Amino acid sequence: MEISVYNIKGEDTGRKITLSESIFGVEPNDHAIYLDVKQFMANQRQGTHKSKERSEISGSTRKIGRQKGGGGARRGDMNSPVLVGGGRVFGPTPRSYNFKLNKKVKVLARKSALSYKAKDNGIIVVEDFAFVAPKTKDFVEMTKKLKVSDKKLLVILPEANKNVYLSARNVGNASVETISGLNTYRVLNAGAIILTERALSAIDETLM
């Protein structure tokens, strides 16, 4: 698949670049995408939830009623789970939600997500660029020139660029990522993806 290369002014440079069929043209695997997104979302969870069990409740341990004949449930002390203010039975405890996913599955998921974007014409390739200084106005102007200012935007760079990152930080519907931070969730969550030429080459090297 060939697409045009633009500059940050939104002008067609007259050059074409070929998207690798082995990355941007694979048959998408929805289950691999599901697993990769599920792992990403699970890794975002802190897992710090906690409720107190009856042994952790501060209260008298005096038996508050006789064992039988009361007409209700047995209640040992004020910390009993059957009473208001008592401990909780089988409540949540701190845990990790992380789980392992094979590298080949993660690579397939990323290829599938990029293939979906390519089929939807959601990928724009621009010449390598850098801002002289952090300036939100310059970033917004670039998105308007490229006609993606009304979309949720993901800009992918080959390596960290502080000026570009700071310029996009205050734009609510835009985010900037490097190749190392690229994942299936962010690709699918974006309405349009801007790739620099060097970033495209780096994706080829990473996912091939």
pLDDT, one tens digit per residue, over 166-176 is 999 999 899 99
Q: What band does 3 get if pLDDT is binned at 50, 70 and 90? A: confident
Contact in structure between 206 and 26 (CB atoms under 8 Å): no
Q: Output phi, psi for 138, to 5 deg.
A: -65, -40
Q: Identify the structural domains of the chain with CATH numbers, from first to last.
A: 2-28+102-207 (3.40.1370.10)
What is the rounded distance in angstroms from the CA atom of residue 98 to the CA atom of residue 85? 33
pLDDT at 53 over 90: yes
pLDDT of 130 = 86
> Mapping DSSP to helix (H, G, I), strand (E, B) and coil, where does residue 115 land?
helix
pLDDT in tens, 152-208: 999 999 888 899 999 999 998 999 999 988 899 999 999 999 999 999 999 988 887
What is the rounded distance in angstroms from the CA atom of residue 148 to the CA atom of residue 158? 21
In whole angstroms, how far apart are CA 194 and each of 20, 143, 163, 174, 182? 16, 9, 16, 11, 12
Quickly tell me which residue has 């993901």 as its tokens.
Answer: 154
* pTM of this prediction exceeds 0.85: no
What is the chain's percent helix, strand, coil content, to nearest 5?
Answer: 35, 15, 50
